[in-house]
Amino acid sequence: MKVHDLQPAEGSNKARRRVGRGIAGKGGKTAGRGHKGQKARGTIPAAFEGGQMPLHMRVPKLKGFNNPFRVEYQAINLDILETAGLDDVSPETLYANGLVSKKALVKVLGRGQITRAVTVRAHAFSKAAESAITAAGGSVERLPLPWGEGRPPVKGNQFTNR
């Protein structure tokens, strides 16, 4: 037996009925659609509900949008820096002590007091935190953002940002 000898079993393949081809055979005239009415005519939209307000128009829509360029920082306050006892603070040392997650953008905020001189390297500082650290004799170094100058890369897609 060769490939060209293969054929389907008898009766397994049945030709589909071609309706609407004249009165000679089955399925002529109205072609199985009955007489008149909307279903006897052309296609209707999938969301059409017979004139009733469709579901996609009845449902209330969410207001606003999600900014795809939002920059999310992990906040570290001065009281946490004070209790951590670190003299040289950077995202790596904060991660090693379990205070921030890996590859997090760190922002230092001004809650609490700092009484000793510390060198703080972070991606952003509040004005209160920056002035408190320098007043205590410490220094502040702003780290560059991973994407450089300008806005960050887009997060999400055309559907998640609505």
Q: Where are the domains of the chain?
A: 19-61, 74-142
CB contact set of 48 (below 8 Å; sequence gap of 6+): 54
Q: What is the pLDDT of residue 43?
A: 83
Q: What is the pLDDT of residue 162?
A: 66
Cα–Cα distance measured from residue 103 to residue 26, given in angstroms and rounded to the nearest whole number: 71
Of the candidates 31, 32, 56, the one whose C-alpha atom is nearest the C-alpha of residue 46 is 56
Looking at domain 74-142, its CATH class is alpha beta
Model confidence, pTM? 0.61
Instruction: Count other Cβ atoms within 10 Å, centred on residue 114.
Output: 21
Tens of pLDDT, residue by residue, the chain (162 residues): 899 999 999 989 998 888 888 888 788 888 888 898 888 888 888 888 889 999 989 988 888 888 889 999 999 999 999 998 888 999 999 999 999 999 899 999 999 999 999 999 999 999 999 999 999 999 999 999 999 888 898 888 877 776
Cα–Cα distance measured from residue 132 to residue 158, given in angstroms and rounded to the nearest whole number: 43
Of the candidates 125, 148, 156, 149, the one whose C-alpha atom is nearest the C-alpha of residue 138 is 125
